Structure 1
Amino acid sequence: MDDVEAIRQLKARYCRLLDTKDWDGYRGIFADDVVIDTTGSGGEVVTGGDAFVAYVRDTLADRVTVHHCHTPEIALTSPSTATGIWAMQDLVRFADGSELTGYGHYHETYEKTGDTWRVTSSTLTRLRMDIARPEAG
């Protein structure tokens, strides 16, 4: 498999493992010193793979999520580094039945160690967030 395809599959696993709440598998997506910036959607900047997975688990464990990433723009910057921009859409359903549907982009960097690519940084930018509240009945 070529490196661009390996990065595409890495991002596919990112979405699947997050939505299925496979926290151990999800941790394997990230470098130990990853920096994740979700301030563009009301989150935080979190440094470290363990810290980020703990943050996501605490934030989303009891919520149904669906993440889709599309139309990747991946550039290999060296034999062991790359950048990527992914269009994204996500849905988060909260316990009260309200839903957030978001649209935006992930801006990421990757590093290859051996045969394995991992995310080294990710910034989530939002173009739009729609919130639907359950109808009172």
Structure 2
Amino acid sequence: MDAADLVTFRELEELKYRYTRALDHKDWELFASCFTDDATAVYGTRLEFTGPAEIVAYMRENLGTNMITLHQVHHPEFTVDGDTATGTWSLMDRVIMTDYRFLLDGASTYQDRYQRGADGVWRIAHTGYERIYEQMVSFDDVPSFNLTANKWA
């Protein structure tokens, strides 16, 4: 591995970190900027999207301020071939559904494809994950649960 590979790996890491940060902070403009114009996404067996507008619209509509999310990605593995790359990531996520009084936790494995544009910037051409597990619990089942901070409340 040479220095150029290390720079590329770091750029791909920063892209995925930006993607999760934008999603969790509901920064839809930044989130959209992470994708190529023809990006696709498949999240588990339930959600499939074509184009960044469709991906962003769904997230904006369904992950509003009543859904506090935390997506943590780690353990990246990359394969780079010129201006294209693939990546595998581990994901741990939590969703606090304030209106529904539920906590959701899950673990997944992301499989991504990346494209470096003419501007030299890497973007996500495809993202998707397969769930390892997902579990939900009602706030009512955790009597000590107390949400003490909420950016959107």
Q: In which range does the TM-score fall when normalised by the shorter chain? A: over 0.9
Unpaired segments ≥5 residues, structure 2: 1-5, 144-153
> In the alignment, what sits opposite 2:126?
121
Tell me if structure 1 keeps the 8 A contact 2:91–2:107.
yes
> In the alignment, what sits opposite 1:75?
79
Hey, what's the Cα distance between the residues in 2 that align with 1:39 and 1:12? 20
Hey, what's the Cα distance between the residues in 1 that align with 2:61 and 2:138? 22
> In the alignment, what sits opposite 1:17?
22
Larger Rg: 2
- Normalising by structure 1, what TM-score? 0.92
AA partner of residue 51 (structure 1): E
Q: SS in structure 1 opposite 2:139?
A: coil
Hey, what's the Cα distance between the residues in 2 that align with 1:31 and 1:48? 8
Aligned pair partner of 1:64 in 55, 63, 68: 68
Hey, what's the Cα distance between the residues in 1 that align with 2:131 and 2:47? 14
AA partner of residue 7 (structure 1): L
> In the alignment, what sits opposite 2:93?
90
> In the alignment, what sits opposite 2:35?
30
Hey, what's the Cα distance between the residues in 1 that align with 2:42 and 2:100? 27
Q: SS in structure 2 opposite 1:135?
A: helix
> In the alignment, what sits opposite 1:6?
11
Could you report, residue by residue, the CA deviation over 1:99-129 in whole angstroms, capped at 9, with x for unpaired residues? 1101011100000012200000112110000
Q: CA deviation at 1:135?
A: 1.3
Question: Which deviates more from structure 2 when the two are superposed, residues 22-31 or residues 89-98?
Answer: 89-98
RMSD between superposed Cα atoms in Å: 1.4
Q: CA deviation at 1:51?
A: 1.0
- Normalising by structure 2, what TM-score? 0.83
> In the alignment, what sits opposite 2:53?
50
Unpaired segments ≥5 residues, structure 1: none
> In the alignment, what sits opposite 1:102?
106
Q: CA deviation at 1:96?
A: 2.4
Q: SS in structure 1 opposite 2:93?
A: strand
Hey, what's the Cα distance between the residues in 2 that align with 1:39 and 1:101? 14
Hey, what's the Cα distance between the residues in 2 that align with 1:112 and 1:104? 25
Over 2 Å off, 4+ runs: none
AA partner of residue 119 (structure 1): I
